[in-house]
Chain A
Amino acid sequence: MPPRSARSGNRLDTGLLIACGLASVLALLLPDRLSDPVAGIVRRTVLSPLLAAQQRTESMRAAIAARGAALQTGASVAEQALRAPRLERENDALRALLGLAGRVRSGFVVAEAFHPTGVVDDFTLTIAAGTASGLTAYAPVVTADGLVGMIEAVDRGTSLAITWAHPDFRVSAVSEDETAFGIVQPHFGQGADRYLLELRGVPFRASLDSGSLVVSSGLGGPYPRGIAIGTVISELPTIERWSRTYLLRPAVLPSTLSAVMVLLPSAPRDSLRTAWTNVQASDSAMRAIVAASDSSARQAAMAELAARRRVMQAAADSARADSALAGLGPAPAVRAPTITPGARTPAPLPGARVAPPATRPDSVRRPPGAPR
């Protein structure tokens, strides 16, 4: 028979195991409204210095990566650096975010997003902004492409967000033409299909074509109306005969995120309603930004275009004069170079009349399924 001290030690061990096990099971069973405050206290106290250190490390890693890119850029000329695919993508993403900021106008916070480390953290993001920046729980997280997810927990300097791939994610949605309402949720498929979305509960009479844009409806939740969620890929066969289910391609891939925008309750709803769907506004804002940021390149391009116009005009005049002298009637018209929609509009030449385009560049609609 073991001595009394050993027996009491064993009883203490068993008691501690049972206590910890019960506490864990209790934590598992707790509803979110009770477990979130506890988790928040742990994050704000014990983990606060560690999370701060992790943020600094992430910044350091980003700085190291940026340092490498800067050295690479310095080794080549500026034009080549600007054409580097990675820089172009980053540039496009930042411009798109700027464009979105211009359309939303106010009531948002732009912050860096990174993925936490853990076994089951594929569907969550850590955002480097918190209550100090005005963030609140359930605030929508978006990019210029569309909806990323929702803030789940907020601390002073950081926030935790779930992405649309999280099993708990739901958003009330509507097609862009407002013919079909439904609920969007993650598609629990296998492999890569796990990273798709489903639009469920669409009335049977409402049919959506492939490529149709689906946006948030603004009903019953934290997501304001108009945030792009995804585009229809196809209809999913279901046993429900009274409603349809569609498979959606998400507008945003969370794995590629670096900077996100968190919408605050004060964000103007009317701006949000058209921020992702109004291509005209999108183009205008984008061209304004491009024009502002690339003013020197724009001036150079316009000067070149004006010179080409002068040469073409001179050739046309010369041909017309030659034809008149030869009595062969008017010379065929020589057209000035045409400008494709979306390109920068050239300045009219002094004294020359430029016919207005048949369609305004801003009114060019993005074809369904085309990348933004």
Chain B
Amino acid sequence: MTLAESGRALVGFLLLVVAHFTLRPLLGGPVLVDFLTIAVLFSAVRVRPGAAAAIGFAVGVSLDSLSPGSFGTAALAYTCVAFLASRLNAAFFTDNISLTGAFVLAGKWAVDAVTLLLAGGLADTQSLMQLLVWSPLSAVLTAVVALFLLAVARPWFAVTVAPNRR
């Protein structure tokens, strides 16, 4: 990545993080967009897997600090998902919009699944409902928003891979 591309990527990442804390509460509703997951996944596919894991860890720790009693769950979830995203991207990435949508959908659902499993398992119906109903719905909405962002602000969010990572 050139310096300009890195700068745009950083701005895009920061915009998504800010949107998570400002735009998301305004949207409301039972199914919420996860801008942080979009930010992590879009960043992960631009950098090496190790750096992706570090980004995921940092975002996860930040989220964990807002949830007393489950410190470390989001950190582990985002670390794993970001690393895998970067690895999968290096292996399979194509500049295909539907694949990108599926990529975000799977990433978001994976983050929720790992977080739920680490936070207390799937012992009750409520957790199962969260995992099988609300998380997939949220993942779909997140994927739609990710595609929308790619369509309207491609320079900041477009996923490009360096030739040596293909």
Known: A39-B65, A120-B67. A23 touches B18 (CB 8 A): no
A252 in the interface (beta carbon within 8 A): no
A186-199 near B? 1/0 per residue, CB < 8 Å: 00111100100000
Tell me how far the C-beta of B135 lies from the nearest C-beta in chain A, rounded to whole angstroms.
Answer: 7
A116 contacts B66, CB within 8 Å?
Answer: yes
Q: Give CA–CA (A103, B75) in the complex, Å.
A: 45
Q: Give CA–CA (A155, B24) in the complex, Å.
A: 23
List the interface of chain A (C-beta within 8 A of B).
9, 12-17, 20-21, 23-30, 32, 35-36, 38-40, 42-43, 46-47, 50-51, 53-54, 56-58, 60-61, 116-121, 124, 126, 152-153, 160, 162, 166-168, 188-191, 194
B124-144 near A? 1/0 per residue, CB < 8 Å: 111000100001000000000
B103 in the interface (beta carbon within 8 A): no
Q: Provide the residues of chain B in CB contact with A166, threshold 8 Å.
A: 69
A-B contact count (CB 8 A): 149
Q: Provide the residues of chain A in CB contact with B56, threshold 8 Å.
A: 20
Tell me how far the C-beta of A150 lies from the nearest C-beta in chain B, rounded to whole angstroms.
Answer: 10
B118 contacts A28, CB within 8 Å?
Answer: yes
Q: Provide the residues of chain A in CB contact with B18, threshold 8 Å.
A: 50, 53
- Partner of B67 from the list A13, A21, A28, A116 (CB cut-off 8 Å) is A116
Q: Provide the residues of chain B in CB contact with A15, threshold 8 Å.
A: 50
B31-75 near A? 1/0 per residue, CB < 8 Å: 010000000000000001111011011001111111111111111
Tell me how far the C-beta of B122 lies from the nearest C-beta in chain A, rounded to whole angstroms.
Answer: 12
- Partner of B124 from the list A61, A119, A188 (CB cut-off 8 Å) is A188
Tell me how far the C-beta of A43 lies from the nearest C-beta in chain B, rounded to whole angstroms.
Answer: 5
B91 in the interface (beta carbon within 8 A): no
A124 contacts B68, CB within 8 Å?
Answer: yes
Q: Provide the residues of chain B in CB contact with A50, threshold 8 Å.
A: 17-18, 21
One of B4-12, B76-84, B92-100 contacting the partner:
B76-84
Q: Provide the residues of chain A in CB contact with B49, threshold 8 Å.
A: 13, 16-17
B66 contacts A43, CB within 8 Å?
Answer: yes
Q: Provide the residues of chain B in CB contact with A26, threshold 8 Å.
A: 72
Tell me how far the C-beta of A176 lies from the nearest C-beta in chain B, rounded to whole angstroms.
Answer: 31
Q: Give CA–CA (A42, B123) in the complex, Å.
A: 31
B30 in the interface (beta carbon within 8 A): no
- Partner of B68 from the list A14, A24, A53, A152 (CB cut-off 8 Å) is A152
- Partner of B115 from the list A40, A119, A188, A191 (CB cut-off 8 Å) is A119
6 closest Cβ contacts across the A-B interface? A27-B72, A16-B50, A28-B72, A13-B50, A24-B76, A39-B65
Tell me how far the C-beta of B62 lies from the nearest C-beta in chain A, rounded to whole angstroms.
Answer: 6
B21 contacts A53, CB within 8 Å?
Answer: yes
A28 contacts B66, CB within 8 Å?
Answer: no
B119 in the interface (beta carbon within 8 A): yes
**By CB atoms of chain A within 10 A, which of B57, B64, B71, B75 has the most?**
B71
A190 contacts B25, CB within 8 Å?
Answer: no
A160 contacts B66, CB within 8 Å?
Answer: yes
- Partner of B22 from the list A13, A29, A54, A124 (CB cut-off 8 Å) is A54
Known: A16-B54, A40-B65, A194-B126. A25 touches B21 (CB 8 A): no
Q: Provide the residues of chain A in CB contact with B120, threshold 8 Å.
A: 120, 167
- Partner of A57 from the list B21, B65, B72 (CB cut-off 8 Å) is B21
Tell me how far the C-beta of A186 lies from the nearest C-beta in chain B, rounded to whole angstroms.
Answer: 11
A23 contacts B125, CB within 8 Å?
Answer: no
Tell me how far the C-beta of A45 lies from the nearest C-beta in chain B, rounded to whole angstroms.
Answer: 10
Q: Provide the residues of chain B in CB contact with A160, threshold 8 Å.
A: 66, 68
A61 contacts B28, CB within 8 Å?
Answer: yes
B3 in the interface (beta carbon within 8 A): no
B116 contacts A28, CB within 8 Å?
Answer: no
